[in-house]
Structure 1
Amino acid sequence: MTFTIRPLTPSDPAAIFAAFNAAGWEKPLSTFTTYLADEEAGRRSTLVAVQGEHIAGYVTVNWCSPYEPFGGMPEIQDFNVLPAYRRRGIGGRLMDAAEALVAERSDVVGIGVGLYADYGTAQRMYVRRGYLPDGRGVIYDHRQVPPGELVRLDDDAVLMFTKSLP
């Protein structure tokens, strides 16, 4: 299978929205239009994997992480490959491209990963790629969770990782 990884284009938000919606992932169109606006403003870069005319996945680089302990380092965010395109190397290539993009500006990159089973593949992938936990434990909505505090186990509950880049 041949696919291409390229920067986000103005026609992509609607196409990504439609592709993910068709797969049962209800992500708002505004997410992708915001990514385009952020790209145009230089705050974020979005890479899109396509096979022919079909969206296969995407990943973003937020050039100034909102997670305070990262001190504004770049953070890879919202990494997704559609189920029909998984286990074909697309995720690895998207991560390679995102890390190469970050390496042009920084020698370290951050990433967060969810805690429940749906994130199991990503958790394992990040560790295999050399990402290490930042040691601050569970983070909820960009804030460290103190011992004994209860949080909802949803997409905002994450562990944050960093990786040194060559």
Structure 2
Amino acid sequence: MAALRIRLAAVDDLPRLPDIELAAAALFPEGDLPALLRLVSTPEAALAAAQREGRLWVAERHGELAGFALASRNGECAYLDEMDVHPDHGRRGIGRALVGAVQGWARAGGLRSLNLTTFAHLPWNAPFYASLGFRQLREDELCPLLADALAAQRAAGLRRRVAMRQVL
């Protein structure tokens, strides 16, 4: 892992992040991620704002950008809004390291939990997050932000999505 470095994103990193996100999206079965959604990445303005606010991390592997994580905060809760690892760098602990950076940020900020939405059935989604200490939330445990996020994802054609939380 000596070749892996997790750091806050720099402005120069931003143009390369959509390529990572789109390459990662190509791994999803079309039944889970409709073809049209495979062409959409996080808006440039959202990435730029996150970079300025210190809530966007990148993973460098052998000097090449291999992945990124984007987080946000609402009240006492943190949210992992997006996390992608380029398939060329997959299964090397990069996702785990990126989540670790977000967890560290959330803990340092005194936040109570880290929340996310993900696919329930894909091994590199809910089972991966469960291995990091996240648990799936029941409908009656959802905060308004997570309930709205799941509703919007379902409306966009994403199926079998769940919300997960890790108490920090």
TM-score of the two chains, using structure 1 as the length reference: 0.73
- Could you list the per-position Cα deviations for residues 30-50 of structure 1 after superposition, in whole angstroms to 9, with x for gaps in the alignment? 62442222332x3x6011001
Q: Which runs of 4+ in 1 moved over 6 A?
A: 137-140
CA distance in 2, matches of 1:53, 1:26: 27
Cα deviation, residue 26, structure 1: 3.8
The equivalent of 2:59 in structure 1 is 49
Alignment-mate amino acid for residue 104 of structure 1: A
Which runs of no fewer than 5 residues in structure 2 stay unpaired?
27-37
Considering only aligned residues, what root-mean-square deviation do their CA atoms show, in Å? 3.1
Matched, 1:34 2:46: yes
CA distance in 1, matches of 2:16, 2:9: 11
Q: Select which of 156, 162, 165 maps to 2:165.
A: 162
Matched, 1:84 2:88: yes
CA distance in 2, matches of 1:82, 1:133: 25
Which runs of no fewer than 5 residues in structure 1 stay unpaired?
65-70
The equivalent of 2:68 in structure 1 is 58
In 1, are the aligned partners of 2:77 and 2:112 still within 8 Å (CA)?
no
Matched, 1:142 2:149: yes
The equivalent of 2:117 in structure 1 is 112
In 2, are the aligned partners of 1:136 and 1:144 still within 8 Å (CA)?
no
Alignment-mate amino acid for residue 88 of structure 1: R
The equivalent of 1:124 in structure 2 is 127
SS in 2 for 1:93: helix
Cα deviation, residue 141, structure 1: 5.0
Residues 33 and 9 (structure 1 numbering): CA distance in 2 closer, same or farther, change over 3 Å? Answer: farther
Alignment-mate amino acid for residue 100 of structure 2: D
CA distance in 1, matches of 2:23, 2:161: 27
The equivalent of 2:106 in structure 1 is 102
Residues 21 and 160 (structure 1 numbering): CA distance in 2 closer, same or farther, change over 3 Å? Answer: closer
In 1, are the aligned partners of 2:67 and 2:84 still within 8 Å (CA)?
yes
The equivalent of 1:67 in structure 2 is none
SS in 2 for 1:103: helix
Q: Which has the higher contact order (CA 8 A, sep 6+)?
A: 2
Aligned pair count reads: 149
Cα deviation, residue 114, structure 1: 2.5
In 1, are the aligned partners of 2:10 and 2:51 still within 8 Å (CA)?
no
Residues 127 and 22 (structure 1 numbering): CA distance in 2 closer, same or farther, change over 3 Å? Answer: closer
